Structure 1
Amino acid sequence: MSVLTTKEIMEIIPHRHPFLLVDTIEELEPGVRAKGKKCVTYNEPFFAGHFPSEPVMPGVLVVEALAQVGAVALLSQPGFKGKTAYFGAINSAKFKKKIVPGDVLMLETEIIKIKGPIGIGSAKAYVDGKLAVQAELTFAIGSLEES
């Protein structure tokens, strides 16, 4: 059973369809880690052009999905409630497996360091228990008014 539904995720992060790339949060330790799920369907808007004859989820969107899971972990803690987590950096991204329609992505982001409004997360995406994508993500926490 999920810890957070799509509706509850949208109460924490500002992303909406078609850019909300996490269906549910399966595990959550606020400020520490989160595990989310994305069921990839052929109806995803990006498959119309990436690629019509061989649909593959763009790697940058898998990294974004991992960042959204990390943002849920960070913004679930009381001190960051109502804030937004922006990308500060993407380091050491590695793409090991194509993600295609029908795959269920399990997205795990662990916050390994927080200093003031900056957080760093170790992120991994799996399909059928096999590592598909991994990256180190840097988050900058702010509010929409500051942007």
Structure 2
Amino acid sequence: MDIKEILDHLPHRYPFLLVDRVISFEPGKAIHAYKNITINEPYFVGHFPHFPVMPGVLIMEALAQAAGILSFKTMGIKPDDNSVFYFVGIDNARFKKPVTAGDQLHLHVEILRQMRGIWKYKAEARVDGEIVAEAELMCAKRDVA
């Protein structure tokens, strides 16, 4: 998926869109996407000026956005103004290495289960093949209108 299709399957926009491309996707199973980390990222101004590091919460958000694409594509629907996917849980989060400008953050997300509108995923973020962060994520679709 290129950026145009990603924008069709996520409600997020700049500066909060954290998926640049989807490399592979298997409905109901898994997705592999990536985010290019550049020195122009707005969070680097304050985190940290002397050693720019991507905040761990944004790595988790990038994984959640990849999970969102996986879920929407699996269900065969697109986001709309009437509902949203919320983060409802993060279990076993681990941060193993800092992510810095110039890195390409690969997002690997696998569906563990889906029940009563709650989705659970196994998620790993990698740079150069090494795991930099991992967690089990939970998201739920909720009507907002």
The two structures have a TM-score, normalised by structure 2, of 0.93
> Which amino acid is the alignment partner of residue 24 of structure 2?
E
Deviations 1:71-128 (A, max 9, x none): 1101112365435321010111000000000001110110101002100000000000
- Contact 1:75 / 1:85 at 8 angstroms: preserved in 2? no
Letter of the 1:73 counterpart: L
CA deviation profile, 1:27-81 (whole Å, cap 9, x unmatched): 1112321111111000000000000010000000000000000111011123654
Please tell me whether residue 51 in structure 1 is matched to residue 48 in structure 2.
yes
Between the aligned partners of 2:32 and 2:143, the Cα distance in structure 1 is: 24
5+ residue gaps, structure 1, are none
Unaligned 5+ segments in structure 2 are none
Q: Distance in 1 between matches of 2:78 and 2:12?
A: 15
Residue pair 2:8, 2:78 contacting (<8 A) in 1 also? no
Which secondary structure does the structure 2 equivalent of 1:42 belong to?
coil
Number of aligned residue pairs? 142
Q: What does residue 34 of structure 2 align with?
A: 37
> For 2:92, what is the secondary structure of its paired residue?
strand
Q: Distance in 2 between matches of 1:31 and 1:19?
A: 25
Q: What is the alpha-carbon root mean square deviation over aligned residues?
A: 1.2
Which of 48, 58, 62 lines up with 1:61 in the alignment?
Answer: 58
